Chains A and B, each alone.
Chain A
Amino acid sequence: MLAATHWINADLHDRGVTSVDQDIIHTYLLTINEYRRLSVASKNLLSILAEIEDLRPLHVRGDAPHGEHAAARADLMLSRIRKIATGSFCDG
């Protein structure tokens, strides 16, 4: 989740959508207005991040079964976020 959030913040800063002192912390801490604005700018990145965040109640804070499936899902979504985010900027 944190790695994905950093990827998204780097991408949004690089494209000038947010300033470097406006990091997203969690999608649910954004105002509705800002979530909608960033969703337009961020090519589904926020919805994918929200899906990772939504795994936490059951599998990080809770002990629901099939945590390994949740981990695999989170890993897949992190990869998607990384691919989308790095498609729009060069790293060094």
Chain B
Amino acid sequence: MLVSSHLDKIHRLINLRSRLDPVDDFELWFWCSMRAGTNAINAALHLTGITPAENAYPSQPGVFYELTDMGYVPQLKQFGDALHVGRPPVLGNIPDDVKTMMELMEQIETYRDPCVRGDLRPNEKIIKHCDELFFQCIDQFKQLSSGH
């Protein structure tokens, strides 16, 4: 997506996240964190010239939907927005601040399978950790984006 669209999603997801209870609504709260963070990483990769900012939306690694005269059509395409950190792996000389954001998101995503798909009840420690990692990622993005 374009950077402006990533920014819009980040703001709306953070807004929604702030209205959710991290205990009672953990799955949605966590999903908002994950999607907002991934949007921030994709925006950061666009701003630093690693991946293209364009109207192309990932379906699966190597497949993107692009707007054509016939509507949105899936196309084979190698580079673009990542679905999750590492999916697909991003090639290129990734700046250290973006790498930091990716590492923070990878840590958040370690809670996805056990707590969202699985039945591990997220306790206060897990919620606090996710929250801290998320805001570290977003703060890193704010610093990066202010310089671009």
Contacts and interface: CB of A to CB of B under 8 A. Distances in A.
Interface of A: 2, 23, 25, 28, 56-58, 60-64
A62 B60 contact: no
B116 A2 contact: yes
A41 B120 CA distance: 28
9 contacts: A2-B31, A2-B117, A25-B117, A57-B57, A57-B74, A58-B65, A63-B1, A63-B9, A64-B67
Nearest to A60: B35
Contacts, number: 37
B103 interface: no
A58 B117 contact: no
A23 B8 CA distance: 34
Contacts of B5: 62-63
A61 B116 contact: no
Interface in B1-15: 1-2, 5, 8-9
B17 to A, nearest CB: 15
Describe A's contact surface by its main secondary structure: loop
B58 interface: yes
Interface in B34-83: 35, 55, 57-60, 64-65, 67, 72, 74, 81, 83
B109 interface: no
- Of A61, A63, A64, the most chain B CB neighbours within 10 A belong to A61
B21 to A, nearest CB: 17
B1 A57 contact: no
A67 to B, nearest CB: 11
A28 to B, nearest CB: 7
Nearest to A5: B117
A28 B27 CA distance: 22
Contacts of A56: 59
B59 A2 contact: no
A4 to B, nearest CB: 13
B32 to A, nearest CB: 12
